[in-house]
């Protein structure tokens, strides 16, 4: 009698258990791996919304108490030992890490785990959801970030970039050998969305994103001052915020830095016309004047001009929204993302394009 092949244990690790783009990425993958071949589990700092969703899905969740976004050396050391102990406890076959902070600590812990257990077959994957060295910082800080990013990537057997922009940037900056790098676009499940019916009676311009500097909300607020009769709505830190997208007549993404933002995929799925900044992988979703309007970052005047253009042209709004909707369905399916990620897990070629 032939024995069934042993299921591979896949441990997903992310810095914080919040429900943002990287958290959604982890949840979608962890809950969608073929159960006959894989066993998923998730570890993160805190016990936030991502943790609750993972538990509700019936998957093991491990809280790494000292893993957090802020840099504190003593807590980093404690997080390292927590992660090393977790690896020794569950003995994963694949570790898939998300977010830069977790990347460095987990990379070091996984390397030491291999040495302690002689398990050199352990597969280590790191997904870069936008490189931190693309942020607007002093040159010396950018240099330090690049150095630590290179050290982080050294520990991983494959580096998944969520956009072609990030892959090319990694090659240009010698972040990792080209053979390690692959591009796998984020993908979306249309059946996973149940948008709320519109309740707004006013013409509404809005955005959804964490209340952090990189999201550029201040520039949207500044642009909004030119439209006293238009309602502006910035949604941050709200559970399942994407379900409110139908309340927007125009969606604006004023980010200063992005990887490949899920919220643009969601806006396209909701058939909302989009204005977005030309950063990161955004142009891989938004083609100017075809699937949306592209503008330069940190330019309130350009945001205001693009908004005015769409307010005056209802036909253009509908055309852009419909074109974006079709592009999302055709090019950014979750099934495509899943299959390419599985190929990366199993060392198959052709995963990047």
The band of 214, judged by pLDDT with boundaries at 50, 70 and 90, is very high
Q: Is the pLDDT of residue 248 over 60?
A: yes
Residues 327 and 337 in one domain: no
Give the pLDDT score at 19: 87
The band of 348, judged by pLDDT with boundaries at 50, 70 and 90, is low
CA gap 156, 127 in Å, rounded? 10
Give the pLDDT score at 146: 95
Residues 102 and 136 in one domain: yes
Residues 41 and 66 in one domain: yes
Residues 325 and 340 in one domain: no
Residues 139 and 215 in one domain: no
Residues 24 and 149 in one domain: yes
Give the pLDDT score at 2: 57
Give the pLDDT score at 336: 96
Assigned domain for 236 exists: yes
Burial (CB count within 10 angstroms: exposed 0-12, middle 13-18, buried 19+), residue 353: exposed
Residues 300 and 262 in one domain: yes
Residues 106 and 210 in one domain: no
Residues 37 and 164 in one domain: yes
Mean pLDDT of 296-314: 98
The band of 351, judged by pLDDT with boundaries at 50, 70 and 90, is very low
Assigned domain for 351 exists: no
Average pLDDT, the chain: 93
Region for residue 18 given its phi and psi (left: phi exceeds 0; alpha: psi -120 to 50; beta: otherwise): beta
Q: Is the pLDDT of residue 288 over 60?
A: yes
Give the pLDDT score at 349: 46
Residues 114 and 256 in one domain: no
pLDDT per residue as tens digits for the range 123-152? 999 999 999 899 888 999 999 999 999 999
Between residues 304 and 351, which one has the greater pLDDT? 304
Residues 292 and 196 in one domain: yes
Give the pLDDT score at 136: 84
Assigned domain for 239 exists: yes
CA gap 258, 193 in Å, rounded? 23
CA gap 113, 119 in Å, rounded? 8
The band of 352, judged by pLDDT with boundaries at 50, 70 and 90, is very low
Mean pLDDT of 180-189: 96
Angstrom CA distances, 224 to 278, 302, 317, stand at: 20, 12, 18
CA gap 226, 219 in Å, rounded? 12
Assigned domain for 230 exists: yes
Instruction: Give the range of the structural domain holding residue 204, as residue numbers without chain letter.
Output: 190-331
Mean pLDDT of 203-207: 97
Q: Is the pLDDT of residue 353 over 50?
A: no
DSSP 84-113: HHHHHHH--SEEEEESHHHHHHHHHHHHHH
Assigned domain for 3 exists: no
Assigned domain for 350 exists: no
Among residues of the chain, what percentage have pLDDT more than 90?
84
Residue 24, domain CATH: 3.40.50.2000
pLDDT per residue as tens digits for the range 70-100? 777 888 999 999 999 999 999 999 999 998 8
Mean pLDDT of 54-80: 90
Assigned domain for 2 exists: no
Assigned domain for 18 exists: yes
Number of compact structural domains in the chain: 2
| DSSP summary character for residue 214 | G
Mean pLDDT of 210-224: 94
The band of 1, judged by pLDDT with boundaries at 50, 70 and 90, is low
Give the pLDDT score at 235: 94
Sign of CA dihedral 58, 237, 321, 302: negative
Give the pLDDT score at 116: 95
Residues 56 and 180 in one domain: yes
């Amino acid at each position: 009698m032939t024995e069934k092949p042993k299921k591979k244990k896949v441990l997903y690790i992310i810095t914080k258990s919040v429900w943002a783009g990287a958290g959604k990425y982890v949840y979608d993958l962890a809950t969608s791996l073929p159960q006959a071949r894989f066993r998923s589990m998730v570890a993160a700092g805190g016990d936030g919304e991502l943790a609750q969703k993972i538990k509700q899905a019936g998957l093991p969740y491990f809280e790494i108490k000292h893993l957090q976004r802020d840099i504190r050396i003593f807590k980093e050391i404690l997080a390292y030992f927590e992660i090393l102990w977790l690896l020794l406890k569950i003995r994963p076959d694949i570790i898939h890490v998300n977010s830069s902070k977790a990347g460095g600590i987990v990379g070091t812990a996984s390397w030491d785990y291999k040495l302690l257990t002689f398990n050199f077959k352990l597969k280590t994957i790191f997904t870069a959801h936008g490189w931190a060295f693309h942020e607007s910082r002093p040159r010396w800080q950018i240099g330090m970030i690049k150095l630590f990013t290179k050290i982080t990537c050294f520990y991983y057997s494959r580096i998944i970039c969520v956009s072609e922009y990030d892959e090319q940037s990694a090659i240009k900056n010698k972040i990792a050998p080209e053979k390690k790098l692959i591009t796998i676009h984020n993908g979306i499940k249309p059946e996973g969305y149940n948008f709320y019916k519109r309740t707004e009676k006013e013409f509404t311009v809005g955005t959804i994103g964490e209340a952090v500097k990189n999201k550029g909300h201040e520039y949207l607020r500044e642009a909004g001052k030119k439209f006293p009769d238009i309602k502006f709505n910035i949604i941050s830190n709200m559970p399942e915020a994407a379900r409110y997208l139908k309340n927007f007549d125009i969606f604006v993404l004023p980010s200063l830095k992005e990887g490949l933002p899920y919220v643009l995929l969601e806006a396209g799925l909701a058939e909302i016309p989009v204005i977005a900044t030309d950063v990161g992988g955004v142009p891989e979703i938004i083609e100017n004047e075809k699937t949306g309007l592209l503008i330069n970052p940190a330019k309130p005047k350009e945001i205001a001009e693009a908004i005015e253009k769409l307010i005056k042209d209802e036909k253009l709004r509908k055309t852009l929204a419909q074109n974006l909707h079709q592009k999302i369905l055709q090019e950014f399916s979750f099934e495509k993302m899943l299959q390419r990620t599985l190929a990366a897990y199993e060392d198959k070629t052709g995963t990047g394009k």
